[in-house]
Amino acid sequence: MEAKLKAILADAQTEAPNVTDRASFEAFKARFVGPRGSLTEAMKGMGAVPKEDKPAVGRLINEAKTGLTALFDEIHSKVEAAELADRLGPAIDPTLPTVDAPSGVLHPIAQVREELVEVFRRIGFNVAEGTEVETEFYCFDALNMPGDHPARDMQDSYYLPAQAEFLNVSKKADERYLLRTHTSTVQVRTMLENKPPIRIVAPGRCFRRDTPDATHSANFHQIEGLYVAESVTLCDLKATLDHFVKAVFGPKARTRLRPSFFPFTEPSFEMDFFSPDLGKLSNRWLEIMGCGLVDPAVFEACGIDPERYSGFAFGMGIERIAMILQGVDDIRYYYQNDLRFLRQFIG
Ligand code: PHE
């Protein structure tokens, strides 16, 4: 009996690799445990086994049964996997582009950002980047706005919890994290890392506490500009911005500087422009940026010798310019992601 049972199991094991589909699997099972299967027959022989041998033979039969069941399970999962693979067809590469996907376009704000940055790129400015989460040092202190400076109130800020260490922005122990209120942070980052001459523009997202309305959004974009070299004057600032305004708003556009105040520039100005080329889009002077000559205190905070170098800086809101160029009268349209709005800027 023992030899018989061993032979049954050995038979099943040799035959198993040939069983690859459901039909042969069913036939295979029947050969052993079907009504006339070899194990079934062996079990029928139990009657003839002497009483004292029954427990031992019973155990052998059980072992054979367990061995067979394990084999059946194994084959069954192989057959199922083969069937599934059959249904799914050949392996596909999901990273391949489809032939019929419509190609996207840049968001209208990004379109204007690229256009503005391109004007500066052509006259030798590089693009620099900062981070949206900043420390007070980059956003305020290094820009000549110490903790008690009233100008900090002009840029009501979003502060982050003190335990935001995971953000991996280096800071002093008593400094706070915040979302940058302007891209002027990139002036500081650039000057700390590079020696003059420096010519950069820095486009990016900024955040200020604001009640949203047609012209205000708590989340907006700016482009910062910084030029540092020996003997940079207001003439250079004016010429650069004149060129920029003509390139963007038309060759007949004019600019004017009005005295203003920023802690990080001295003197400081608001720049307005007027362009007859805009036709119906605008028939009056419009204010589009703050600018000025870099304050010596900022050079000192950034390790640049103010006796040797001078420079100019400017900062403008992208949305404001986009609204003028695109004839959009409510800033909120840019953030609602309504396709009826966005589709107007395709092509
Ligand atoms: N950072 C200023 C603002 O956000 C703009 C500015 C930039 C002014 C550079 C002067 C020089 O209002």
**Mean pLDDT, residues 113-140:** 96
107 has a pLDDT exceeding 90: yes
**Mean pLDDT, residues 273-280:** 87
Same domain, 251 and 177: yes
Whether residue 108 lies inside any domain: the answer is no
Same domain, 255 and 196: yes
Give the pair of three-digit tokens for residue 235: 């003439």
Q: How is the beta sheet containing 286-294 ordered, strand by strand?
A: 126-127, 198-207, 219-230, 309-317, 286-294, 265-274, 254-262
Is the N-terminal amide bond of 196 cis, ω within 30° of 0? no
- pLDDT averaged over the chain? 91
**Mean pLDDT, residues 185-198:** 97
Same domain, 289 and 167: yes
156: domain range?
A: 125-345
Residue nearest to atom 8 of ligand 1 (CA): 290
Same domain, 284 and 146: yes
Whether residue 119 lies inside any domain: the answer is no
Domain boundary pick from 88, 105, 138: 88
Phi first, then psi: give them for residue 179, nearest 5 degrees: -80, 135
Give the pair of three-digit tokens for residue 251: 């060759």
Percent of the chain with pLDDT over 90: 63
Instruction: Say how far apart CA 203 and CA 224 lie, in whole Å.
Output: 6
pLDDT band at 2 (very low <50, low <70, confident <90, very high): confident
Q: pLDDT digits over 277-294, tens only?
A: 888 777 789 999 999 999
Q: pLDDT digits over 49-79, tens only?
A: 888 888 888 888 888 899 999 999 999 999 9
Whether residue 94 lies inside any domain: the answer is no
Same domain, 248 and 335: yes
Same domain, 146 and 293: yes
Same domain, 180 and 62: no
Same domain, 73 and 132: no
pLDDT band at 155 (very low <50, low <70, confident <90, very high): low
Q: Is 262 in the pocket of ligand 1 (CB under 6 A)?
A: yes
Report the CATH number at residue 338: 3.30.930.10
Q: How many domains does the chain have?
A: 2
Q: Is 207 in the pocket of ligand 1 (CB under 6 A)?
A: no
Same domain, 328 and 240: yes
Task: Output the pLDDT for position 205.
Answer: 97
**Dihedral, CA atoms, 209, 211, 217, 223, nearest 10 degrees?**
-40
Whether residue 98 lies inside any domain: the answer is no
Task: Output the pLDDT for position 306.
Answer: 97
Task: Output the pLDDT for position 173.
Answer: 67
Mutation pick for ligand 1 pocket among 157, 184, 258, 270 (CB with most ligand atoms within 8 Å): 184
243 has a pLDDT exceeding 90: yes
229 has a pLDDT exceeding 70: yes
Same domain, 341 and 237: yes
Burial of 140 from C-beta contacts in 10 A (0-12 / 13-18 / 19+):
buried
Task: Output the pLDDT for position 9.
Answer: 87
**Mean pLDDT, residues 102-109:** 89
Q: pLDDT digits over 7-30, tens only?
A: 888 888 898 888 989 999 999 999
Min mean pLDDT across 80-84, 267-271, 290-294 is at: 80-84
35 has a pLDDT exceeding 80: yes
- Distance (Å) from CA 279 to ligand 1 centroid: 28
Q: Which residue has the tokens 């008593």?
A: 174
Burial of 242 from C-beta contacts in 10 A (0-12 / 13-18 / 19+):
middle
pLDDT band at 246 (very low <50, low <70, confident <90, very high): very high
**Mean pLDDT, residues 262-279:** 94
Q: Find the distance separating the first CA and the last CA of the chain, reported in whole Å.
A: 85
Q: pLDDT digits over 156-169, tens only?
A: 788 887 666 666 66
Whether residue 238 lies inside any domain: the answer is yes
- Distance (Å) from CA 262 to ligand 1 centroid: 7
Best mean pLDDT range from 35-44, 133-142, 295-304: 295-304
Whether residue 113 lies inside any domain: the answer is no
Task: Output the pLDDT for position 255.
Answer: 97
Closest ligand 1 atom number to CA of residue 291:
10
Same domain, 207 and 302: yes
43 has a pLDDT exceeding 90: no
Domain boundary pick from 88, 111, 142: 88
Same domain, 82 and 132: no
- Distance (Å) from CA 57 to ligand 1 centroid: 94
Task: Output the pLDDT for position 99.
Answer: 81
Residue nearest to atom 12 of ligand 1 (CA): 290
Mutation pick for ligand 1 pocket among 134, 152, 182 (CB with most ligand atoms within 8 Å): 182
- Crossing angle of helices 318-326 and 234-249, in 10° steps, is 40
Whether residue 101 lies inside any domain: the answer is no
154 has a pLDDT exceeding 70: no
pTM of the model as a whole: 0.71
Closest ligand 1 atom number to CA of residue 206:
4
- Distance (Å) from CA 150 to ligand 1 centroid: 16
Task: Output the pLDDT for position 165.
Answer: 64
Whether residue 320 lies inside any domain: the answer is yes
Min mean pLDDT across 26-40, 150-164, 204-218, 224-238 is at: 150-164
